[in-house]
Structures are given as structure tokens and as C-alpha cells.
Amino acid sequence: MPGRALLMDFAVTPTSHRLADYRARGGYDALRKVLGTMKPEQVTKEVAASGILGHGGAAFPAGRKWQVIHLDDGQPHYLCANADEGEPGTFKDRWILEHAPHRLVESMAIAAYALQVRHAFVYIRGEFDLPYRRLQAAVDEAYEAGLLGERILGTDFSMDLVVHRGAGSYVCGEASGLLTSIEGRKGYPRNRPPRLTVKGLYQRPTVVNNVETLSNLSAILAMGADAFRRIGTPKSPGTQLVSISGHVARPGVYEVEFGYPVAKFIHEDCGGVLGGRALKCIVPGGISTKVLTGEEIAEVTYDHASFAKAGSGLGSGGMIVVAEGTCMVRLLQVMVRFYHHESCGQCTPCREGMGWMHRLVDGIVEGRGRPGDLERMELIAMANDGTTICGMGDACGYAVTGILAKYRDEFEHWIAQGRSKFDGRLEIGEPEAALA
């Protein structure tokens, strides 16, 4: 793993997801420490002091979110782990659920204690079969061992954990849409304010955190906030699980210390571009983040500030490598088709704008493109920016404007000539033999 490993530094074996193996790695020691020696507010203070940022895309400080919850307000509080990992190119939460589900279970018990939560939920993507079975088995093992349920580890703290399967909606990965789905209604995102920490699940104070964000808690409480902050950078402490795919020699999930050189990560740790081709660009953190060219990443380090300076973001930790020779028109077509299909239809700019952009790109690929189509797509993206309840309209706009800004010539060539600049020689998703 690039940099110093922190969270997932263990050998994956056929039984590494089981309770016995997890306990052999020190599992549930942090929970025992928390319940035996710390008050709830002390746990929240430690999480805030660690500086851990959300790993689901927004990078909001987890401790700051928790501090909004008033422990003495007389209301039930809820905790939800967002395991609805649907961003194309992102599969690092799935890795945790398959190989380290007990780390999530233990960390959620710690968070529930800090937030005084009696009922917690994991909202898991409906298409996840093995991750669901592994997580549910871990929850069952934890109940049998007295690590969930009544009087956990012999203390006065009790907590129940429910694994709730979604039905395959990308928009339910948005926190408020997720809660609406748990409530049994159509998973439409909600207008805010009020914040979910004020009125969330069943109109009660609720904390929603990403799977990886929560899974860091057992390590933070075991090692202490000061030790955690010594890893990574001052503004981005700790590590990030990065799922890397596309035209890369060694795809997979890597744990990367924040501040690690991106070019070194791709070209050395991941073996470089497939087939020895030159690097054209990367999609840094799922398709909602703007592409960065091979030249632009030369001085970029893997942290939020460095990516922001380069004009993009870390997003959800899903990096897609794109080799030279790839047609960016077809790549954008795939992206926009996804957004159009997944729009929930609640907001007019997103519902109509996604379809409009999808038709424009399809028209270009089918040889019906017109010179004004590119300007029209940019205007639609601008109209979507900040005008929808959730960030899906914005995200599609970022993908469109990011690619048009850097590869406009490929679109103009296709409009003028009626075919790809590359004649389809290499497309995302082609088998390795195509690179020979």
C-alpha cells in the first residue's frame, strides 16, 4: 500500500471477514476502551480532534457534524452508514464490506455510543450481494458475542444495528434520499434546511456517514487523535482507500496516505498505463469530478487541497485512468447516459437537462451533431448548477464542462467529420488485447 498503511493493513484470507480473525487483529478493543473509560462527549471530542474528513465525496469534517447533536435534548437519535456506493469507478466501500465488515460494525457501535443512538442502520446498495451477506453475517456474529444488542460488553449501553437493502437507486446515495428510502417512501432527496442532524430520519436528529469514514473510528480511538493526525497532511489527516480502474496495469483498491504523489501512485504502485501507452487523463474521484490531464497531475499530491488547486477533487475515491487514444466523446456519452438514467426526476433542471444533454451527445456520435451543440450543452450544465435539491445536476455539469474544456477539439472533429478522431481504436472498457 502506498505510504504508511493505517486502516486495512492485513492479509485478506478466506476468513479475514470473520469475528475470530478480526479479534486476532485487535478488533473490538477500541469499543471496550470507549465503553469502559470514556464518556460520549469525550468520544466526539476525540473524533473532532483527529480532523478526519468524510470519505464519501463531500469531505465534511466528521467531528463537526457530530457536535451538532445535543445529547440531552430528550429525543431519539439515529445513525446511518451510507453503503449505497453507486458512483461509477468507486468500489472501495465494497472492499470494506467484503473483507472487514466487523471494522464497520465496531466503529458504528462507537459512534452510536458517542451520539447516544439506540437504533442504527446500514443502508446498503441493493446490487451488493456478497457485501450484504458478509455484513449481515458480521452483524449476526456481533449479536451472538454480546457486541451488539442489550448491555454491550456488560455495560449499560445498548444498541441495535439493522442492515437495510436499497433497490438500486443512485440518488439514494445522497444522505436525505437515503433516509427517505429507509422510511419506506420514494427515495427523493429533501430540501435543506433543516439539516439532517436537526431533522433527519423520522424527523429526529440523525448522523449519516460514509462506510469508510465510520470504519476509521476504531483506529482513531485505539491510537488517539494525535497519532492519527501525524499521518497524512495537516488539512487531510489519515489515509484514503482508492479504487483505481480503467486503463491501468494493476487495478484494485489501495490505501493511500494523504499527501502521496499521484503520478507515483499511478505509474509505480499501480504499474502505469495498460499496454505501456501514455496517460491521457484521469477521472480523480468518480465521474462527478472533473478530469485532469496527464500533464496536470505531475505535481499533484493525493489530498483535498492539491486536487482543488488543480481544478478537481478527490470525490468518492474512485480513480479512472484513461489512456491516450481514447475517444472522450464516447466517454462523455457513457457518463451522461448514466446520469440521465439515474435522475430521480424530482427537479426540473435535472430531469429535463440530463435528457437534453444525453440527446445532444447521442446526436454527435450518430453523426447528427451541429456546431451549436457544444455551447448548448455548456448552457444546460450552467442552468443545472445549484438549481437542484441534491448535487446530481451539478455533478453531471462538472463532467460535461470538465471534458469539453480540455477535449473540445475531439467533439468539433466528430461534428465536422461525422466520426471519431480516433476511429474507435481504443475505448474505455475494451479488453486488454486491444492494447497489444
Q: What is the 3-state secondary structure (H, E, C) of 128-168?
A: CCHHHHHHHHHHHHHHHCCCCECCHHHCCCCEEEEEEECCC
**Quick one: 36 and 124 in the same domain?**
yes
> For 264-289, how does the pLDDT look when each residue is reduced to its tens digit (9 = 90+)?
999 999 999 999 999 999 999 999 89
**Quick one: 333 and 280 in the same domain?**
no
Chain-centroid distance of CA 73 in Å reads 32
Q: Note whether 390 and 396 are within 8 A (CB).
A: no
- Compute φ and ψ for 156, nearest 5 degrees: -85, 0
**Quick one: 249 and 147 in the same domain?**
no
Q: Note whether 376 and 360 are within 8 A (CB).
A: yes
pLDDT band at 420 (very low <50, low <70, confident <90, very high): very high
- Return the half-sphere exposure (C-beta side, CA atoms, 13 A cut-off) of residue 426: 18
**Quick one: 206 and 92 in the same domain?**
yes
Number of independent structural domains in the chain: 3
**Quick one: 267 and 139 in the same domain?**
no
d(CA 20, CA 144): 13
The CATH number of the domain where 402 resides is what? Answer: 1.20.1440.230
Its domain, for residue 199, covers 19-229
**Quick one: 27 and 94 in the same domain?**
yes
The CATH number of the domain where 26 resides is what? Answer: 3.40.50.11540
**Quick one: 206 and 345 in the same domain?**
no
Tell me the CA distances in angstroms from 18 to 120, 122, 145, 183, 336, one per residue in order.
Answer: 21, 18, 12, 31, 40
Answer with the one of 165, 195, 229 that is the final residue of a domain.
229
**Quick one: 300 and 383 in the same domain?**
no
**Quick one: 55 and 148 in the same domain?**
yes
Answer with the one of 180, 209, 229 that is the final residue of a domain.
229
d(CA 171, CA 342): 7
d(CA 31, CA 109): 7
- Return the half-sphere exposure (C-beta side, CA atoms, 13 A cut-off) of residue 132: 15
Q: Give the global pTM.
A: 0.93
pLDDT band at 58 (very low <50, low <70, confident <90, very high): confident
Domain annotation covers residue 270: yes
**Quick one: 83 and 147 in the same domain?**
yes
Domain annotation covers residue 7: no
The pLDDT of residue 1 is above 90: no
Tell me, what's the pLDDT at 156?
96
Domain annotation covers residue 293: yes
In 3D space, the residue among 431, 90, 92 whose CA is nearest the CA of residue 274 turns out to be 431
- Compute φ and ψ for 294, nearest 5 degrees: -60, -35
d(CA 162, CA 176): 18
pLDDT band at 314 (very low <50, low <70, confident <90, very high): very high
Query: At 293, which helix (H) or strand (E)?
Result: strand 292-293
